[in-house]
Structure formats: structure tokens, C-alpha cells
Amino acid sequence: MNARELMTPNPACCTPETPLQQVARMMVDCDCGEIPVVEREDFKKLVGVVTDRDIACRAVAAGRDPLTLTAADVMSSPAVTASERDDLEEVVRLMETHRIRRIPVVDRNGQVCGIISQADVARRAARKDTGELVRELSSPTA
């Protein structure tokens, strides 16, 4: 199985200028915890990601007013990505190595074409792969 077969295609994306409140609304509407940040709406070259944790830690916990911020103010960049041709083992390795629960998938032009979450792996991969991923992502950091 490769990333293209595993991913959720055409994820909701925002630009660096997107107001943070709109990014959070996208997460609610799409029932997701990560929004890829792309250069422009018509050119989906990935420049970062905004996670629900980014909003909590870099905006709310930092005492910044989320209503005045944009995606660029809290996004994680550069983002770790998988290629649409990567196999399941490579996707899981990337997620484990970087301790991330979601990974954007890019095509050969570097444009976002999908996203893979830990839940996608759990639904589609062997129990062994899922167990290893959950164990790695759940272990305390040193």
C-alpha cells in the first residue's frame, strides 16, 4: 500500500494570510486537527501546517489574541511530508521519526494532494504497523 492509497485526498488548506479563527473553523468543519498551509489557493505548494496543538501552544497558552493572528503566526514550518509514491512503511517511519500524528502528502510537483493521519493508518494498515506507530507516538520524549 502506498501513500496515495492511504491518504485522504484534497484536504482543506489555508494560506499564510488566513485568519487563525478561520483555520480553527476549518478544523471543526472538516473534523480534523491539522490544516496544511499552502502558498496560494490556486498553487498548493506546502509552506507549513497548523495543528490544533499549534493554536493551543503558540496562541492561547502564549497569551496571544487568536482573533488577531494568522496561520503564519502559529504554523509549523517546514512541514514533514510524504510523497504520494511512498509506501506504508516509509510513511510510518516518517511519522515515528518526527513524532507526528498527521503527515501531508505531496505530488511530484510539491503540491499538497492529500493527508494521512494516525487514524488512517489504524483503519487501513496491519495491526502490527498500527501498534508500532501508536507506541512510538505515545512514548515520552527524552
Domain borders along the chain are: 3-138
Q: What's the average model confidence in pLDDT over 34-41?
A: 96
Q: What is the CATH number of domain 3-138?
A: 3.10.580.10
Residue 142: per-residue pLDDT: 45
CA-angle at 132, arms to 86 and 119, nearest 5°? 65
Residue 122: per-residue pLDDT: 84
79-107, pLDDT tens digit by residue? 999 999 999 999 999 999 999 999 999 99
Residue 129: alpha-carbon gap to chain centroid:
19
Say how far apart CA 51 and CA 107 lie, in whole Å: 21
| pTM of the predicted protein model | 0.86
Residue 124: per-residue pLDDT: 75
Q: What's the average model confidence in pLDDT over 47-59?
A: 96
66-78, pLDDT tens digit by residue? 999 999 999 999 9
114-137, pLDDT tens digit by residue? 999 998 888 876 666 666 666 666
Q: Is the pLDDT of residue 139 over 90?
A: no
Say how far apart CA 110 and CA 118 lie, in whole Å: 22
Q: Is the pLDDT of residue 13 over 90?
A: yes
Q: Residue 22 in contact with residue 14, Cβ under 8 Å?
A: yes
Residue 137: per-residue pLDDT: 65
Burial of 128 (0-12, 13-18, 19+ CB in 10 A): exposed
Burial of 17 (0-12, 13-18, 19+ CB in 10 A): exposed
